[in-house]
Amino acid sequence: MTHTPHGAHLIAGERVLNDAKFTSAPAHGPAHHFSEGTPEHIARAAEAAEAAFWSYGYSTRDTRAALLDAIAAEIDLRGDAITAIGTQESGLPEARLIGERGRTVGQLRLIAEHIRKGSYLDQRHDPALPDRQPLPRPELHMVQRPIGPVAVFGASNFPLAFSVAGGDTAAALAAGCPVVVKGHPAHPGTGELVGDAIAAAIASCQLHPGIFSLVQGSTHEIGAALVTHPLIRAVGFTGSLRAGRALFDLCARRPEPIPFFGELGSVNPMFILPAALAARGEAIAQGWAGSLTMGAGQFCTNPGLAIMIDGPQADAFATSARAALAEVQAQTMLTDGIANAYRAGRDRVAQCAGVETLLATDCADRLATPCLYQTTAATWLNTPHLAEEVFGPLGIVVRVRDGAEIVAVAQALEGQLTCSLQMDADDFALAQRLMPVLERKAGRILANGFPTGVEVAESMVHGGPYPASTNFGATSVGTLAIRRFLRPVCYQNLPADLLPQDVHQR
């Protein structure tokens, strides 16, 4: 199935065209023209979302769950067309897009099932104690309530799972919050198709069309207009530290500041402890190389640092990692801009004093090839930019003197999405020293695995201390993601007929 984009915004169920256009830049296949969003489009979408909230925000959990299931079904109906244009725009392999669509519809259905149960509302009830001395206690109910219209920014590296119908949109809709999506210009045709699927689901469920809008655009102006619109109550964002921080600051400077839930960047360090390094260093090196180059290294959980104690076993690890990376062919990156940024990051690392190049590769245009470097803990600790994310297949081996220096490197880390431990039984004492540090540094800690691949599940945390994300208490993956778009309300001595219906469905 093929899809020729119509190039329109989708605002409250209506296709809206305008004269100003931008042109897509696909990895292969034809380019298409798309309407360029304006602040006026954002205002129209936000106003429609606010109008929809007065019904959708007070709808039943079953109604919202049915909508999420309907969206999943409509996306699957367009599956072949989504895969076709998604591969053209992103350069990602067909199998990756098919798998990502499965993840996208899977998380919609998981969240639908979760909200039907109602446990996410964290309800609490204190019965009245009229005879309590010295003062009676009133009856108190507490329940989580939706906050209002939510802005969502599509991500460049996941055209489906973190974009128009991704986790942020699914969580907001589950909470009862209408959504205004700013589509990512790297894959506007894919976003358009998914937006049409959401609109079809809303219509089939006979809900207010203002529940969802998609405004396309390639300028910073439209993003700024979205996060500063007074009707928007929160923002979900996945992207670069620079862009996310700029939007975060705009949210904070509003007359009424709003929460910005941004997932911004991480180097996801892997600590290879001595017994594991001695027993299976070669296998760990090969696994690391595979994780590091998966999807051209364009995963937010890409493990960019491998930290180990110096010595012959570290030499063997570096040799094995270099050999594995040298076999990896050039891969297409998501955009020309991302490819240019990767090369700039590579050069910045390579030119740093105290950094040794283990594998230098050259790549041009939109292609990426892996690079490998090594340095000492002293150099890493004294060179802040070595701890910054390079978005692509680049790894740095950090050699430390002993266990104490491993802990020192861990303590110097900024916030991370993940930290990984490669360890055997004889490593437990050192791992126990590391655990209190890693718990303060990351949202997810792994043992004997690699962080690429984020399970969509009840227990998942995809977030972490800044700069991994802007809110260390939140996750953008898993059912806990819903809580970002809710706030607790306490009801004191209210008659039963005035309480939210969720209170009666405990």
Beta strands 331-332; 367-368: pairing state: antiparallel
Cα–Cα dist 179/154, whole Å: 12
Select from 168, 315, 304 the least CA-distant residue to 234.
168
The answer for 72, left when phi > 0, alpha when psi is -120 to 50, beta otherwise, is alpha
Contacts of residue 432, Cβ cutoff 8 Å, sequence gap at least 6: none
Tokens of 313: 């076993």
DSSP per-residue string spanning 346-377: HHHHHTSTT-EEEE-----TTEE--EEEEEEH
- Half-sphere exposure (Cβ direction) of 360: Cα atoms closer than 13 Å: 8
Contacts of residue 164, Cβ cutoff 8 Å, sequence gap at least 6: 152, 154, 181, 183, 190, 191, 194, 195, 198, 214
Cα–Cα dist 8/6, whole Å: 6
DSSP per-residue string spanning 432-472: HHHHHHHHHHEEEEEESS-S-S---STT-----STTSBS-T
Q: Are 459 and 478 in contact (CB under 8 A)?
A: yes
Run of H or E including 342: helix 336-350
Contacts of residue 295, Cβ cutoff 8 Å, sequence gap at least 6: 92, 96, 157, 331, 452
Distances 421 to 272, 276, 290 between C-alpha atoms, Å: 6, 10, 17
Report, as residue numbers or ranges, the catalytic residues: 263, 300
Select from 73, 9, 59 the least CA-distant residue to 201.
73
CA 297 to chain centre: 15
With 0-12 / 13-18 / 19 or more C-beta atoms within 10 angstroms meaning exposed / middle / buried, residue 67 is buried
Select from 431, 437, 414, 467 the least CA-distant residue to 271.
431
Tokens of 112: 């639908």
Select from 186, 193, 165 the least CA-distant residue to 88.
186
DSSP per-residue string spanning 1-55: --------EEETTEEE--S-EEE---SSS---EEEPP-HHHHHHHHHHHHHHHHH
Dihedral of CA 492/496/502/506: which sign? Answer: positive
Cα–Cα dist 229/217, whole Å: 16
Contacts of residue 219, Cβ cutoff 8 Å, sequence gap at least 6: 36, 37
Q: Are 204 and 78 in contact (CB under 8 A)?
A: no
